[in-house]
Amino acid sequence: MKKKLYIYDTTLRDGNQMEGVNFSINEKLKITKKLDEFGVDFIEGGWPGSNPKDDEYFKEIKKIKLKNEVVAFSSTHLIGKTPATDFLIQKVLAAKTGWVCVFGKTWDFHSQKILKIQNKDAIKLIQNTIKFFTTKRRKIIFDAEHFFDGFKSNSKFALECLKIAEKNGAANLTLCDTNGGSSEKEIREIIREVKQEIKTPLGIHTHNDCGLAASNSLAAVEEGVELVQGCLNGLGERSGNANLGTIIPNLQIKQGYKIIPPVSLEKITQLSNYIFEFANLPPQKNQPFVGANAFTHKGGIHASAVLKNSKSYEHISPKLVGNVSRITISELSGKSNVVEVAKKLGFKLDPQSQQTRNILKQIKQMESEGFYFETAEASFALLILRSQKNYKVPFEVLDYFVINLKDGEAKATVKLKVGTEIREYAASGNGPVNALDVATRRAVGKFFPQIQNVELKDYKVRILDSDAATAAKTRVLVESSNGVEGWNTSGCSENIIKASWQALIDSLEFAIWRAGK
């Protein structure tokens, strides 16, 4: 193992600046505890004085026993003030954290054009602020804001900013690619030059505006920085911050650095989903390491190879990061996909049988028509059941009728046949799909009471060929649950009511089979 690297998480402050993300105090406290349990060295809790929520957070966090450090974020003192008379600086001091992260402008463009002060005055702001906090026994991480742009513009000024922070006791100098516009080559070359002038340990803070935040952070580590800043799931303003969910596994698994205990690394997928939940964002399935698709195999050739040896298409064991290997069903599938997914659903198929070949042929045909089985495994299970000679369909739909009423209401009538008995049921609902759903459940439930606890949890509609306007094909995905487990079914038609109907019928038929099984 290589030397220890420190991870600095800024999800609660920088990540909270992402559009649509707004953590409550309670959520911030819960996330802090999760990050601490995971093993993050530094957790940036927010900016005291900038808003009431962060003030409250720093009061409440003192009541929680943590193993790692909570950091307060701070600017340099305001122009025309001193640290002693600056309201925000005093608020940061009152937060009573052992560590403070102070950011200061290190790009002469900002000092001259944005702050409208001379470079020497910008340096003075850094000096005064860091000196003030260190005399108050606070340990300082200096975030050299816009450092790489600043170095390219005026390397002498950028280095002077670092030197004054070093001279006044900063424990770490973090170089920031704040606009996210630097290349890996630039990051490497500038860090090498900085190390010739600076002895204090360095850190790296990158943004993803060019899609390079993670690779730039990894390059910086290779050049000798000892602290990496970022956010879980790459949250953050604009295109986001460096994604710690990508960086940590790369550093620990691929490069052998000591980051966190291996048992904690196995929880990183869970942590990623936890953060997404509180951010009120859907998990990004295509994220490396932690995404649901990171170890998912859709192509038939890939699935066949993975079943023989997972190394064929998986660069690591998904268990190392708490993820799982999955094989899905689609028009790209081969027999291996069909057999493996069927196995997980409780079916044993012979890959060489005519039944398996027929199922695969049917999947490819139906997906070409617009159906979708990749996330609708319940509909796939019904394809298998219906291909078996001894399977009896529990009910047959003879007819259904839907009428739209005023004010969004609708009425649906469903005619069913179960065995030799034929029944007709009607129901009203909020729109045609809801009315059809209620009527169908009422009808089927008379014969099969085991579906009474089945609920529709989600309903998604996708227009497949928008160029066809109102005649376009519509795909419907329905998520259902019996309170214990959930399942998805799919329907497709030019008629949205018919597509919804297909998915609803599959959902109920699957529920009946599952209950009997």
Residue 468 covered by a domain: yes
Identify the CA nearest to 234 among candidates 266, 209, 261, 264. Answer: 209
pTM above 0.85, yes or no: no
Collapsing DSSP states into helix, strand and coil, what is residue 100? strand
Domain of 81: which CATH number? 3.20.20.70
Contact in structure between 392 and 417 (CB atoms under 8 Å): no
| Pairwise CA distance, residues 460 & 10, whole Å | 34
Looking at residue 466, its pLDDT comes to 60
Paired residues of 472 in beta bridges: none
| Pairwise CA distance, residues 515 & 510, whole Å | 9
Looking at residue 1, its pLDDT comes to 43
Same structural domain, 32 and 178: yes
Element (H, E) at 300: helix 300-308
* Tokens representing residue 106 in the block: 């290190």
Instruction: Note down the domain range covering 494.
Output: 396-516
Select from 260, 288, 323 the last residue of a domain: 260
Select from 231, 260, 289 the last residue of a domain: 260
Full 3-state SS string of 406-472: HHHEEEEEEEEEECCEEEEEEEEEECHHHHHHHHHHHHHHHHCHHHCCCEEEEEEEEECCHHHHHHC
Structural Rg of the chain based on CA atoms = 29
Neighbouring CB atoms inside 10 A of 136's CB total: 12
Length of the chain: 517
Contact in structure between 214 and 243 (CB atoms under 8 Å): yes
Looking at residue 121, its pLDDT comes to 93
Residue 132 covered by a domain: yes
Looking at residue 331, its pLDDT comes to 59
Three-point CA angle 332, 335, 340, nearest 5°: 100
Looking at residue 517, its pLDDT comes to 60
Looking at residue 162, its pLDDT comes to 98
| Pairwise CA distance, residues 451 & 395, whole Å | 13
Residue 308 covered by a domain: no
Residue 412 covered by a domain: yes
Residue 49 covered by a domain: yes
Domain of 417: which CATH number? 3.30.160.270
The DSSP call for residue 401 is E
Residue 322 covered by a domain: no
Number of domains in the chain: 2
Select from 241, 260, 279 the last residue of a domain: 260
Residue-wise pLDDT tens for the chain (517 aa)?
456 799 999 999 999 999 989 999 999 999 999 999 999 999 999 999 999 999 999 999 999 999 999 999 999 999 999 999 999 999 999 999 999 999 999 999 998 898 889 999 999 999 999 999 999 999 999 999 999 999 999 999 999 999 999 999 999 999 999 999 999 999 999 999 999 999 999 999 999 999 999 999 999 999 999 999 999 999 999 999 999 999 999 999 999 998 988 889 999 999 998 898 888 888 888 999 999 888 888 776 776 776 777 778 889 998 999 988 777 665 556 677 778 778 888 888 888 889 888 888 888 888 778 787 777 889 989 988 999 988 889 999 899 889 988 788 899 999 989 888 998 989 998 888 889 888 888 888 888 988 888 888 888 888 776 665 666 788 888 899 888 888 989 999 988 889 998 999 999 999 999 887 6
Burial grade of 120 (CB within 10 A; 0-12, 13-18, 19 or more) = exposed
Residue 102 covered by a domain: yes
Looking at residue 316, its pLDDT comes to 92
Residue 146 covered by a domain: yes
| Pairwise CA distance, residues 516 & 514, whole Å | 5
Contact in structure between 150 and 104 (CB atoms under 8 Å): no
